[in-house]
Structure 1
Amino acid sequence: MTATAFCLHALGSSSEEFALLRSELAGDLDLVGIDLPGFGRSPASGGTTVEEMAVLVERAIGASGATEWALVGHSMGGKVATVVADRTVSGANGLFGLRAVVLLAASPLAPEPMAEDRRRSMLAWAEHGAIEPHHAAEFVDANTAEVLSPDRHEQAVQDVQRTDPRAWRDWLLRGSREDWSTSAGPNPVPALVLAGAEDGDLAADAQRRLTLPHWPAAELHEVAGAAHLLPWERPVEVAALVRDFWYRRIAQGPVVPADTVRVIASPRVSARTRGLLAVRALADDPAATPDALTPRQLTTLRAVARVVVPQPGGQEVDLALRVDAQLAAGQGDGWRPDGLPDDVTAYRGALDVLAPAADDGALPAVLEDVAAGRYRSDGALDAGQLRAWFEDASVDLVKQWLAHPATMSEIDYDGFANGGDGVRKQGFQLLGAGQREAWEPEGAAR
């Protein structure tokens, strides 16, 4: 099933700006454009603040029934997309299933950089009603590296003209100046940030300074031959970057089944639990560098993980990378086996001992000897310490596997749905073996 990408447009535009991208990405992602209030076919009465636009988007996503989805935000829509993504990953908005975010020349969470004389000129265009055709054309031409082809230029100009003057003014006077950065922590969702090489205020340097700090799992690419209107100017190049990002960073991770997504997104699950599960469901970056271990130690731990927790099917949780993050954060279980050093030192020493066996493909047999306490080495840990470490590391790896919501679905566990944030906790009524409530997923296939 193809994932859905909900697309949020720029100031003076509409969902029509994604038509070319939709065609280019057909079969890879299903692009669904959303007209923000006052733009395209959406009335300004829906509310033109960033908060009101975010709520409209959240309602549209919820009503769509999508269970595996991404957000694409262009310029103004980038700020809205970031707010929606933040509220999704915190569990606050009741949505689940967000896999990635794509930001095209995005307006940042902080006030958008804009020359005040240009702001005044743009405000004057809509002071007495709809924006005139020559001003609309001036806006489009000022935001493109080259004049668009006639059909694209006509559509882009028409979008500016049909913008509700109130929505236009409200973004320039308020929305672009709203500062959401002070209340937003780093968002772990994988993000692709694109900037036009010839953009003005929101070029690569601005994205590096204002956008990337919010997205620790982001990558930034500059699009040559483009200014600000990326979907109109370079749809083929943008689509290629999105496609590569999706298959390289996102599609390799396990997907939470749709029926489990719906339960997690329901009022039966608290916002805090939903947020924790949202973070656990994110795809791991295969190119990520370890924080606590060396690259070779991480490679060895991945080999150990494949022995301890086989994951057939091609879509794997990178258990070793998650354990490395656990070690770096000092999030152990609060104790260690007698005779072992601290967790990081023990892991490093054990993995250095096991690295040659992992390189030679002999690791399964070696781990059998380690588990039996009969493996001898000249490394930092003796046979008894290796045995204790392997038992402890196996628990860490299994815990990371079980913590993923896709695994919970696979083993038919939905105990997290024990009551949301309301006054009345729904809980479970049927507690007998083999009994299943009407709202519960059908269960694991095996």
Structure 2
Amino acid sequence: MKRAALWPDHLLPPHHVPPPWPGRAVRLDGTVTYVRDTPADGPDAEPALYVHGLGGSSQNWTDLAGLLAGRLDGQAIDLPGFGRSEPGLSYTIPAFAERVIRWIEHSGRGPVHLFGNSLGGAVSVYVAGLRPDLVRTLTLISPALPFLGFHRSLQGRMLPLLAIPRGERLAAWRLAQIAPEVMARQAMEACVADLSRISEQRRQEALEEIRVRYEAAHYAAAYVRTFRGLVSSFLRSYLPGPRSMWRIAASIQAPTLVVGGMQDRLVDVRVAPQTARVIPDSRLMMLAGVGHVAQVEVPRTVARAVLHLLVESGHGVSRPDVAG
């Protein structure tokens, strides 16, 4: 593990707030997967795939994908049951990883530069560890890898729900009691340390995403079942066996960037450094005053670290003015 370095800020595109990238519904293995495309605006761009976190969507990557479009031809997918994708049959980490693998194979774009946030980070670790042929580099932002201190996470309040038969019905009832505007604000407050960094456009888009959830009858069940699958993977990782997430992480061959927010309220802040220690070829960047979704809150900083990773790992043209 080493400290992440940053590409010069002045070499990034000027600051602006792009609208969500165009999306399309693709039928894959009998169900619809929703995909957003961020076309490259530079020559020799390489394919990238972005995977969102629990309760998120492909829209969480709008700013970062735009900043990286000079080097990467990006796609962001909605995992089964989230965003605008249809529900899945299973909501475990292996099941989500299989969908990501199938999408890479179906699209014919592999190997890709793989990005994952939170749940998407755990899924991406699984993909990179088990299918190294599909991954060029790996970027993990607040990855939801195993930790047992659930008191360190706002999600810990959901643990009793997992013990209730048909807990998803209770979750759906609770969802119906909260106005979309309130839910959007609560979600933003949980994920972002400094709300002043979030533009009004992004706030309105988050509200629209919440409204989409209210219209999806399957959403509450997908959320609860995914949280149950995530907790189960945490517990299994501390038992003997080849499917431990930490053992899989230790097998990753791809050059890796791990980003953590020091004000993360959803994943124990000690997880990002531990992840970087376990993955052999890793770089760590811990961001003071940043929460759970650094790619949303400080996308330029994350983009600078990613661009340096690309250059360092031979996926870009080296320049003499690279800054550490």
Return the TM-score normalized by structure 2. Answer: 0.68
The count of residues paired between Structure 1 and Structure 2 equals 245
Q: Please state if 1:106 is matched with 2:143.
A: yes
Higher strand share: 2
Residue 221 of structure 1 aligns to a residue in which SS?
A: strand
What is the match of residue 208 of structure 2?
158
Amino acid in the other structure paired with 1:78: G
Partner of 2:32: none
For residues 114 and 153 of structure 1, the distance between their equivalents in structure 2, rounded to whole angstroms, comes to 28
Match of 1:146 in 2: 194
8 A Cα contact 1:8 1:77, kept in partner: yes
- Partner residue of 2:304? 240
* Match of residue 223, structure 2, among 148, 163, 168: 168
Q: Which residue of 1 aligns with 2:24?
A: none
With over 3 angstroms needed to count, the CA separation of the structure-2 counterparts of 1:126 and 1:250, relative to structure 1, is: farther
Which stretches in structure 2 are left out of the alignment for 5+ residues? Answer: 1-43, 162-166, 214-218, 318-324
Structure 2 residue aligned with 1:126:
171
Per the alignment, residue 44 of structure 1 pairs with: 87
What is the rounded CA distance, in whole Å, between the counterparts of 1:35 and 1:69 in structure 2?
17
Alignment partners' CA distance in 2, 1:70 and 1:112: 30
Whether the 8 Å contact between 1:12 and 1:159 is mirrored in structure 2 is: no
Q: Tell me how far apart the structure 2 counterparts of residues 160 and 192 of structure 1 sit (CA, whole Å).
A: 30
| Structure 1, gaps ≥5 residues long | 90-95, 254-446
Q: Give distance in 2, aligned partners of 1:239 and 1:83.
A: 23
RMSD between superposed Cα atoms in Å: 2.6
Q: Do 2:47 and 2:113's aligned partners in 1 also have CA atoms closer than 8 Å?
A: yes
Read off the aligned partner of 1:156 and give its amino acid letter. Answer: A
User: Where do residues 22-421 of structure 1 align in structure 2 (5 Å cutoff)?
Assistant: 22-89=65-132, 96-108=133-145, 110-111=146-147, 113-115=149-151, 118-120=155-157, 126-128=171-173, 130=175, 132=178, 133=180, 134-147=182-195, 148-163=198-213, 164-179=219-234, 181=237, 182-183=241-242, 184-185=247-248, 186=250, 187-202=252-267, 204-209=269-274, 211-251=275-315
1:252, distance to aligned residue in structure 2 (A): 6.6
Residues 1:208 and 1:81: Cα distance change in structure 2 (over 3 Å) = same
CA distance in 1, matches of 2:92, 2:188: 23
Which is greater in Rg? 1
Tell me: higher relative CO, structure 1 or 2? Use CA pairs within 8 A at least 6 residues apart: 2
Which is further off, 163-172 or 17-26? 163-172
Task: Return the letter of the residue paired with 2:76.
Answer: G
- The alpha carbon displacement at 1:28 in A equals 0.9
* Paired residue secondary structure (1:59): helix
Instruction: Look up the equivalent residue of 2:194 and give its one-letter code.
Output: E
For 1:200 and 1:4, how far apart are their aligned partners in 2? Answer: 31
Give 2:49's aligned residue.
6
CA shift at 1:118, angstroms? 4.4
Change over 3 Å in CA distance of 1:161–1:169 after alignment to 2: farther
